[in-house]
Amino acid sequence: MTILEPVPGRSVPCEACPFRSNPMFRDFSPPELEFISGFKSGELNAEVGTTLLLEDTNSPYLYTVLAGWAFRYKMLPDGRRQILNFALPGDFLGLQASVFDRMGHSAEALTDMILCIFPREKLWELFAGYPSLSFDVTWLAAREERMLDENLLSVGRRSALERMAYVLLHLFRRAEDLGLTEGDRVEFPFFQQHLADTLGMSLVHANNTLRRLTSQKIVHWKHKVFRLLDRDRLAEIAGYDFAERQPRPFI
Amino acid sequence: MTILEPVPGRSVPCEACPFRSNPMFRDFSPPELEFISGFKSGELNAEVGTTLLLEDTNSPYLYTVLAGWAFRYKMLPDGRRQILNFALPGDFLGLQASVFDRMGHSAEALTDMILCIFPREKLWELFAGYPSLSFDVTWLAAREERMLDENLLSVGRRSALERMAYVLLHLFRRAEDLGLTEGDRVEFPFFQQHLADTLGMSLVHANNTLRRLTSQKIVHWKHKVFRLLDRDRLAEIAGYDFAERQPRPFI
DNA sequence: CGACTTGTTGATGTACATCAAGGTACGTGG
DNA sequence: CCACGTACCTTGATGTACATCAACAAGTCG
């Protein structure tokens, strides 16, 4: 388990940021783009399994995911783990340490990743000079809250089958929005243990529940490739409310 | 079930806001105070049981709680309810509808309440002109996220007894920070059903679990008066990490 | 080729939900 | 002041969804 330090190296200039062509992200004005370019202090290449953030420690950096998947989690002293949410390209990591003085959760890379690094002491300049960008930060925090609300509803009140259906559909849709899917396929870079820890159930029960969905040919999952065979049926089981999709901030 | 409209009437001027004397809240500068005064468009007196916010609807107002308790919740079509968090004096309600176009959760008053009303279309002026206040909004959103993370850990991974201990201590400490306690006493304005819905368990099981704590004289609860008899023992059961207390924003 | 990691399945126990009944406090109208 | 209703809490009986334990299968990697 390693804690990361940024490494020097070539990095994607913000002007060429791949998200700029994604319709899910809003456009930057030239001054915004210029500020962000200066805000970004480098890039971090993280391997699978890297601990990106560690609960109760401070983090001098704020990250956005440029490529790859990670997950946020908390652990109890005896090792029980709860996965709180997943971080995909475009997501923030480490805001808590910038706003308070230490992280309330940890985060780990699920794949090799590229992260944009922002020094947290410059966050104040963003708020002071770029109201539209500080609104975007609030937007992201509110979106995270909304996802947590949903997950809490799942874990607290949905049955195992409903929970499993919900999280699979949720993750598929997030990947879809980012153009990570090909038709009904997507690469899910995690194991059944991760699903179990997300949904608050045991590995064995997660396996049984998942197989109820695969045996009915609603989904398919092998060798990390997930296929959404019957979306309507899955949404029906999940009780999924088709939330609006709207342009999201860049940062 | 009623949805609220603001009623005219006398309201507390921000200059005389009771939170200004509470050391948990940071101080406002004179310009900040002046802006907030203009931002506040009135007050709302809400009775117990009032629906303050309704999921999937829009809310033209943003509220802060001046007095009283409320809770945020989500419901499934068949009536299962998950309480997400409680709102106490100083807390925001309705940010989601200001940032997105509709609420992702509902909120209901647990007591008679007084709420400060802020028209959401002026939220942009706050971001544009008052970076310190917009940072406060982000602070509040991040704090809400942190509480949700904790609750999700509880519901997903803690045992019924640990969960019960955690939520009772959590609520007691929040009340304490606001000066709502008298020694080991506090008035908890909710029923066991609310605890059950917060912790993702049935009413009967919440009752059994609670009685395990009362019969060991760790807590006492009768007629809405809660007494924390053995704080250390409760913290031990909860696995409570004594999080820092630091000055918080006003808004 | 073994050693390790991930997924699958069955046997057994328990923490929980559900159903049902009664208890206590408090209000209301006679 | 009593009969009655209502709201909330408490307790027991029964069933089930889930966890835990254990073994094995299948794939991957040195």
- CB under 7 Å from any atom of strand D: which residues? A 159-161, 200-205, 209, 223; B 191-193, 203-204, 207-208, 210-211
A2: pLDDT confidence band, cut at 50, 70 and 90?
Answer: very low
Q: Look at residue A206 in the predicted model and tell me its pLDDT.
A: 97
Whether B8 has a pLDDT exceeding 90, the answer reads no
| Model confidence pLDDT, tens digit, residues A66-108 | 999 999 999 999 999 999 999 999 999 999 988 888 899 999 9
Q: Tell me what percent of the residues of chain B surpass a pLDDT of 90.
A: 78
| Distance (Å, whole) CA A34 – CA A28 | 9
Stretch A156-179: mean pLDDT, rounded? 96
Please tell me which residue, A157 or A244, carries the higher pLDDT value. A157
pLDDT band at A129 (very low <50, low <70, confident <90, very high): very high
Q: Find chain B residues with C-beta within 8 A of A239's C-beta.
A: 76-77
Q: Using CA atoms of B148, B153, B158, B163 in order, give the dihedral in degrees to the nearest 10.
A: -10
Pick the closest to residue B60 from B19, B117, B106 (CA basis).
B117
Spatial separation of the C-alpha atoms in residues A170 and A127, rounded to whole Å = 31
What's the pLDDT tens digit per position in A207-225? 999 999 999 999 999 989 9
Helix/strand/coil (H, E, C) string of chain A?
CCECCCCCCCCCCHHHCHHHHCCCECCCCHHHHHHHHHHCCEEEEECCCCEEECCCCCCCEEEEEEECCEEEEEECCCCCEEEEEEECCCCEECHHHHHCCCCCCEEEECCCEEEEEEEHHHHHHHHHHCHHHHHHHHHHHHHHHHHHHHHHHHHHHCCHHHHHHHHHHHHHHHHHHCCCCECCEEECCCCHHHHHHHHCCCHHHHHHHHHHHHHCCCEEEECCEEEECCHHHHHHHHCCCCCCCCCECCC
Our CA-based measurement puts residue A82 at a distance from the nearest CA of chain B, in whole angstroms, of 6
CB distance B149 to A105 below 8 Å: yes
Cβ <8 Å between A76 and B153: yes
Structure confidence by residue, pLDDT tens digits, A179-201 = 999 999 999 999 999 999 999 99
Which pLDDT belongs to residue A10?
62
Burial class (CB in 10 A: 0-12, 13-18, 19+), A187: middle
The pLDDT of B29-54, averaged and rounded, is 93
Task: Report chain A's mean pLDDT, rounded to a whole number.
Answer: 91
Protein-to-nucleotide distance from the CA of B66 to the C1' of D9, whole angstroms: 31
Specify the higher pLDDT residue, A18 or B210.
B210
Structure confidence at residue B246 as a pLDDT band (50, 70, 90): low
Cβ burial of B198 (10 Å; 0-12, 13-18, 19+) is buried
Q: Say whether A153 and B74 touch across the interface (CB within 8 A).
A: yes
* Identity of the amino acid at B86: F
Q: Do residues A70 and A86 make contact, with C-beta atoms less than 8 angstroms apart?
A: yes
Note the pLDDT of residue A231.
95
State the smallest CA–CA distance between residue B99 and chain A in angstroms.
Answer: 6
Question: What integer is the mean pLDDT of A35-51?
Answer: 93
Report the pLDDT value the prediction gives residue B2, as an integer from 0 to 100.
47
The pLDDT tens digits for B150-176 are 999 999 999 999 999 999 999 999 999
Q: What is the pLDDT of residue B134?
A: 95
Is the model's pLDDT at B23 over the cut of 90? Answer: no
* Full DSSP string of chain B: --B----------GGG-GGGG-TTBPPPPHHHHHHHHHH--EEEEE-TT-EEE-TTS--SEEEEEEES-EEEEEE-TTS-EEEEEEE-TT-EE-HHHHHSSS-SSEEEESS-EEEEEEEGGGHHHHHHH-HHHHHHHHHHHHHHHHHHHHHHHHHHHS-HHHHHHHHHHHHHHHHHHTT--BTTEEE----HHHHHHHHTS-HHHHHHHHHHHHHTTSEEEETTEEEES-HHHHHHHHT--------B---
State the nearest Cα–Cα gap between B42 and chain A, in angstroms. Answer: 24
Residues 168-197 of B with CB under 8 A from A: 197
Q: Note the CA–C1' distance, B202 to C21, in angstroms.
A: 18
pLDDT of residue B1: 41
Distance from residue B218's CA to nucleotide D17's C1', rounded to whole Å: 31
A101 and B146 within 8 Å at the Cβ level: the answer is no
Arithmetic mean of pLDDT, B115-119: 95
Q: What per-residue confidence (pLDDT) applies to B6?
A: 53
Distance from CA(A208) to C1'(C9), angstroms, rounded: 9
Q: How far apart are CA B14 and CA A79, in angstroms?
A: 47
Please give the Cα distance from A121 to A104 (Å, whole number): 19
Residue A1 is predicted with a pLDDT of 39
